[in-house]
Chain A
């Protein structure tokens, strides 16, 4: 089973106490990915929420006329894959391992169970994702601004 300390390192669980961490860690699985290996592929159905325990991941998308562009880079302590899990929609961007990556993951059923079983745990989890979404939206719009500025030179 995943250790509490490993879970605490992820921003999703920063506010969790030991009891709450124990509730979550029983449903968490672990996988290792090597350099360049695809974790998620744009357009495929989303099945898991991933937590980066060690290593880095690259988030890419297909830009018409330009091919594959990196839109974001994720490090240990961050998570991804939640959007398609929440919306039951296809994955909106691809994610690749940059170097060796140790990832934890929670599948859809376990994730939904966590949200249904214990309200304080569910609300902490939702709150952490809400705050991350705020940050991601801010970063994406900031990126647009910097692309715009670069295009003016």
Chain B
């Protein structure tokens, strides 16, 4: 698995120059998840982010004890666990592998250390984070609107 190549295709890291990509790649670990296995669990602390290399992941909000609502589906290049890493809190939704998933795991502490050492890397990562978050928020607002319309019906 060429880690730098996977990172270069990801939404979060695609604007990094080669040297910065190599620095991030050196801190990443290749990991696999089986079908239905969680990459993130709602309520649990998020200590790492995952860059999807292969497969798809559902972003699921728990509605009650028995059911959950799929808010978004992520694929190669997307990043799981971004918000808890950025704010240092718990996952507010779960992320479940739809089928077997291959991805890169980057520990939150490693990302923070990379950013602290290189303000230009931090700048690019923050700018891309905002674009990712903004897009997601837009999609989730559309889901909220659809959800409300369904409930009202």
Contact = CB atoms under 8 A, between A and B. Distances in A.
A7 to B, nearest CB: 21
A137 B126 contact: no
**A interface residue count range (under 10 / 10 to 19 / 20 to 34 / 35 or more):** 35 or more
B119 A119 contact: yes
A141 B144 CA distance: 8
Main secondary structure of the interface of B (DSSP, over half): helix
Contacts of A62: 145
A93 interface: yes
B141 A92 contact: yes
B122 to A, nearest CB: 6
Given A120-B119, A148-B69, A129 B137 contact: no
Given A119-B120, A122-B123, A148 B131 contact: no
A63 B145 contact: yes
Given A119-B119, A144-B147, A151-B151, A83 B137 contact: yes
A63 B153 CA distance: 11
5 tightest A-B CB contacts, nearest first: A126-B126, A133-B133, A151-B151, A134-B83, A148-B63
